[in-house]
Structures are given as C-alpha cells and as structure tokens.
A and B are shown apart, each in its own frame.
Chain A
Amino acid sequence: MIASVGKIVSLCFYKAGSTLECDTNRQFAAPLLTWVDYLLIVGLSVVCALVFNGSNFKGIPIVPQSLMGEAVSFESPSMAFDKYKKGETLFVDAMPYSFYEQEHIAGAVSLPLAIFGFMYDVSIGQTDKSKEIIVYGRTISKRHDEEVASNLVARGHKNVKILKGGLDAWRKKHYPVES
C-alpha cells in the first residue's frame, strides 16, 4: 500500500518535473523557424505593396513602359561621330547631372530627366526644332535616353536620335569625352 502511494507520488513529481522542464525549454529555446514564416512576411509585403501602388496617385507601372516611338531612331557611334565632326548636331546627355559632371561627350549638353523642364528652357529651348539632336544615357537599370528623346519629340523637335551603345560605345572608340 505504502509502496504504491509512494510510486504514485513519485510519478506525480516526475510528471511535474517533466512539465516544468518542457516549459523551461519552451521559454529559452529559439522558436521554430520554417519557410512559412518567410512566406508570410514576403506575401504580406507583396500584397500590401501591390494594393497600395494600385491606389497611390504616384504609383508606377509594375513593368516600365517603352517610350520608343516611330519618331525616334538609333544612330551608330561612327555615324554620330561623323556628324559630331561637322558640328551640325546637338549632343544631349540624359544621365543625372552628377554622372554628366564625371564624364560626358565633349560639347554635349546636360538634360537630366529629373529637371527636364527647367534645363530644357535654359539650354536648348531656343534651338531650331529641325536641328538634329542625338541623345545618349542608358544603363542596365534605366533608359534615360528614351525618356528624354520622347520628351524632346513631344516639345516639337523633329529630328531626334539615340546614340546606340551610349557613352560606353563612344568611349570605346576613343572619341572625345570631357569631364
């Protein structure tokens, strides 16, 4: 009898001890980490982002739209250099001003997209609309040249072209650059 009571009591202590151990473990062990945690955070972010962007008046298209119209064509660096030597073509650098300051085609005018309206009036606003303009400034991430060229066409310029390969192609042929 006493032995069985002792056995029950010891079993109770054992269970209590084991429960306490589990609780302690639960408190001090790192929480379980699964891919669902990541999915939850990423999924919530994507849903919120897309919903907000759709309703935001400053929202942007998910895939950038190409602005190349029929009015704008490409010009190869060698052809562009022939025109450069004649001095009848205006070269426009569409990159942000800090990049223009670092290096640009010698004699090119800076017309960054961010301040296009202001810079257009200051630099080429009075230029003959039929004069040929060659725009350059393209990176892996952004087609500055396309956007500036389409803006120039919208302002009535009839002969706007884009330098194929941009400043890199120009530099590779050792054509004149300045900083």
Chain B
Amino acid sequence: MRSISSYIKGILMSEYLSLALRTYVGGIFIYASLNKIPDPGVFAENIAAYRIIPYQGLHLVAIILPWMELVCGFFLILGLRTRAAAAILGGLLFMFNLFVIINIFRDSPISCGCFGTVAEAASWKKVTTNTIWLLMTIQVFLFDRIYFLRRGGFVFEKKVHKDFHN
C-alpha cells in the first residue's frame, strides 16, 4: 500500500499536473501581456516607478518585456519548447519579486503594474503570488512531458533522436 507522501510525490511529479500548470501560467502571462502591449508608454511609467532600471534602457524593457511574456505564454499553452519558456518566465518572476521586495523596503508608494493599468499594490501579497507562480514554472521545467512537435523536428529532432539512441 502506497503511503500518502508517495501519492503527493507522484502528483507533484506528474506530467498532467505540469500540463495544467503550464496552461494556467501561460494564460496568466498572456493576459498580463495583452494589457501592456498596446500602450508601452504607460507600462514604461509603471516600470519607472520602481526606480531600478536605468533611464536609457527603460523604453527598451517596456517594449520587449510584454512580448516576451506573450511568446512564453503561448509556447507554454501550445506545448512548444516548454522547458525554455518556463525557465524564462521563472527568471522573470524571480526578477519581479526582487524588484517588489526592494521597493517594499524602500517604502515606495507604487502599484505593481503587473497587469497594465489595473492597480495592484506592490506588497508581500504580490511577492507570495509571484513565488507560487515561480514554483509552478519550476514544476513545469522539471516534469513537463506532454507537448507537441517533439517528434517531427521543430528544431532539433535529429539531435534528440541521436542522443536517445546513444
């Protein structure tokens, strides 16, 4: 008879859980990006409030970051290069958390700007939410096994095939 811990371990390492999590995280990031992409000027203002990114690079980050969220979100939902997409989103979430924590300690009166114009305070609650999403991306990175275009050569079919036969 299996113990409870082995059941929990089985669930946590399940590829079906990965499928659910990457669909959820992908959806969240697509939604977040769609609020920011149409008006990069407003998003630049939101990032500027954090007072971390240098002036010269602010616009570039405001233009590219939402698209990175969108592309990673779609890749996660569609099952394309999910490990790379999960790693990038995990890195972004880690960075967001760092920015929010720095501003909590600075006592900055800012909103997080995570979902465009929807005001949500940069708080410990936001850090907790980001950490949960970060854990989800780690689960996807480690255990995701359900994806499309793995066989048939999206980019590296031959290399994958060779590796497994060696």
A64 interfacial by beta-carbon distance below 8 Å: yes
Number of A-B contacts (CB under 8 A): 128
Chain B nearest CB, measured from A166 CB (Å): 12
Are the C-beta atoms of A62 and B84 separated by less than 8 Å?
no
Alpha-carbon separation in the docked complex, A48 to B70 (Å): 10
Interchain CB contact under 8 A, B53 and A141: yes
Interface residues on B, range: 35 or more
Most buried by B among A26, A30, A45: A45
Q: Are A98 and B109 in contact (CB under 8 A)?
A: yes
| Cβ–Cβ contact B62 & A60, under 8 A | yes
Cβ-neighbour of B59 out of A31, A56, A62 (below 8 A): A62
Rounded to whole angstroms, the CA-CA distance of A44 and B80 in the bound complex is 13
Question: Min CB distance, A4 to chain B, in Å?
Answer: 27
- Quick check: A58 and B64 within 8 Å, CB to CB? no
Residue pair B84, A32 in contact (C-beta under 8 Å)? no
| From A25, A48, A139, contact of B67 by CB (8 A) | A48
Task: Please give the distance in Å from A100's CB to the nearest CB on chain B.
Answer: 10
Q: Which of B2-10, B20-28, B32-40, B126-134 contacts A (4 or more CB under 8 A)?
A: B32-40
Q: Is B138 an interface residue (CB 8 A)?
A: no
Question: Which of B63, B88, B164 is the most central at the interface, judged by chain A CB atoms within 10 Å of its CB?
Answer: B63
Q: Which of B44, B63, B147 contacts A31 (CB 8 A)?
A: B147
Give how many A residues have a beta carbon under 8 Å from the other chain's beta carbons.
44
Beta-carbon contacts under 8 Å, B53-73 to A: 53-56, 58-60, 62-64, 66-68, 70-72
Q: At the interface with chain B, which of A9-17, A35-43, A69-77, A119-127? A: A35-43
Can you show 28 pairs from A to B with CB atoms below 8 A apart?
Answer: A22-B164, A31-B83, A33-B87, A40-B155, A41-B72, A45-B64, A45-B67, A45-B68, A45-B70, A46-B64, A46-B67, A49-B63, A49-B66, A49-B67, A58-B40, A60-B41, A60-B44, A60-B63, A63-B56, A64-B58, A98-B110, A99-B109, A102-B107, A102-B109, A139-B51, A140-B52, A141-B52, A143-B55
